[in-house]
Amino acid sequence: MIQFSGKTVFSGVAFAKAFLYLKADLAVDATPASDSGVELEAFRAAIKTADGQLEEIYKKTLREIGEEEARIIDVQRMMLVDGDFLEAVEAVITGEHGNAAYAVDKTGRQFYELFAGLDDPYMKARAPDIADISRRLTAVLLNKRTDFTLGEASVIIADDLTPSDTLSLDKKYIAAFVTRGGSTNSHTAILARILKIPSIVQADIPLDKKFNALDAAVDGHEGIIYLEPDKNVKERLKERARKDKAEADSLESVRGLPTVTKSGKKVELAANIGSVEDLKAVFEGDAEGIGLFRSEFLFLGRNSAPAEDEQFEAYKAAALALGGKRVVIRTLDIGADKQAAYLGCEAEENPALGLRAIRLCFRMPQLFVTQLRALYRAAAFGKIAVMFPMIASLWELRRCKEIAAEAKNSLIKEGITTGEIELGIMIETPAAALCAGELAAEADFFSVGTNDLTQYTLAIDRQSAKLDKFLDTHHPALLKLLKMIVESAHRAHIWAGICGELAADKEMTARFIEWGYDELSVSPAFILDMRKRIREME
């Protein structure tokens, strides 16, 4: 028996055969091409083929997992039409007479190094996507396959896995992931948590072919993979697996019960979703409402913005499905890691700090008004609340309320039925947290986006594995801001919630309830476990 260790992404226990994934050799020939025109045609044909492959993965992901996860692939599809990348490849073909595969490989490496060396979090996060796209195009041009299939339950061992690697697999055969690279915040790590697959990253395991097909056991609780585990390890992990199953089964005992501590402190447990397709997960998770409907996913993966009626139907469906429970819908949050090419936004050196979210809506008021009209129409069919993202100043909130009033009045004048809406803000900037008192006097509620609030407070790219040791989600500065926010809300007699990943943190859940947060909104898969824990708290 041999064992290796790494960082746990998702706990749990898995037993299966080891599947060693070694990337296909895509060595390219640097010999100049005799006809640049032919190579250009081959390159353009490869783009269409690669886009078709990604479209199939996108549809599969949308059908089996959800729209938010499918967006990962949508980002890559957008890169296939990126003018700078395409022009650079074609320049190598025409200027250096390079063959298409060589040109893609060379350009891909150059762009990867360029993006990986940037300081901006969004741009740096695109480096792996560029590598993935370049590799896919090169494989098409060389007529080689880069994907792989699983015929049985397997513990996948790899140097790293790209989003398209992970999403293209049949999830019923994935017993566990173990990778040498990656981070706890990578796309693959996030998917592992969503799919509830035991996963380990940054493992010290060598990629040795002799490991392939060996019996493997993964202890996701301790971050250890065992190859050819002995009897004692097997028995210990089987017992742990039995305990895990018993704990999972026990969660059903709290289905339908109120989320309240033993001392009587009640909190609403809501769900974060990205589309109407995610409503099934809301009911399966037994959520008490929707605390974050990411409306921007209606705007992605298309060539033009959704019309008012299309948006209305989506928001109406959510309102009706929840049957009177509150649905908090975030207005358009495009920018940073979510881009829609048809909006024509210029490239920015710091997109995470640039024209995004409410700033973009102010720049494109008709886009904003159309969405608000759809929201007011949908509010006639249920309890809808709207929150504005990326608010940093009081004047921004006031302007949002003015535009919302104008949108509602325009509907009334047209004789269209509207409903009442709570208008709140997403607190995700330190500025908003520090001005929470003034903002609370004008808002109907607060919902804290802890992911961005942490990133902006600590000045850390949370996607970077190199910065893991600096990403302290319990940092004293962050805790002070979080406590200040809820205190300011309650002084103004409005409710406050948490809609970031930190809401599911076991230690932080207890603190949030102690501080008086009224709502916690998380992935639907976490709700029953959180309810059980909260009901066991004093």
- State the DSSP H helix or E strand holding residue 219, giving kind and residue range, or none if neither: strand 215-219
Contacts of 94 (CB under 8 A, 6+ apart): 36, 40
Measured between alpha carbons, how far is residue 467 from residues 114, 183, 395, 460, 464 in Å?
Answer: 19, 10, 35, 7, 6
Q: How far apart are CA 42 and CA 396, in angstroms?
A: 50
CA distances from 472 to 172, 418, 432 (A): 34, 44, 20
d(CA 333, CA 473): 23
Closest CA to 172 of 200, 153, 148: 153
- Residue 264 phi/psi, 5° resolution? 100, 5
Side chain identity, residue 190 = I
Task: Compute the half-sphere exposure of residue 255: CA atoms within 13 Å on the CB side of its CA.
Answer: 13
Rounded distance between C-alpha atoms, residue 495 and residue 486, angstroms:
8
d(CA 136, CA 73): 13
Question: Radius of gyration of the chain from Cα atoms?
Answer: 24
Contacts with 370 (C-beta within 8 Å, 6 or more apart), sequence order: 305, 307, 308, 311
The letter for the amino acid at 383 is K
- Give the count of alpha carbons within 13 A of 328, CB side only: 32
Q: Cα–Cα distance between 347 and 114 in angstroms, integer? A: 15
Token pair for residue 327?
């649905």
Judge whether 187 counts as a catalytic residue: yes
- Provide the CA 64 distance to its chain's centre, in angstroms: 16
| Contact call for residues 421 and 390 (beta carbons, < 8 A) | no
H-helix or E-strand spanning residue 10:
strand 7-10
Half-sphere exposure of 233 (CA within 13 A, CB side): 19
CA distance 257 to 67: 29
Closest residue by Cα to residue 29 from 103, 133, 112: 103
The answer to whether 182 and 21 have CB atoms below 8 angstroms apart is: no
In the set 187, 345, 361, 435, the catalytic residue is: 187
Supply the residues annotated as catalytic. Answer: 187, 499
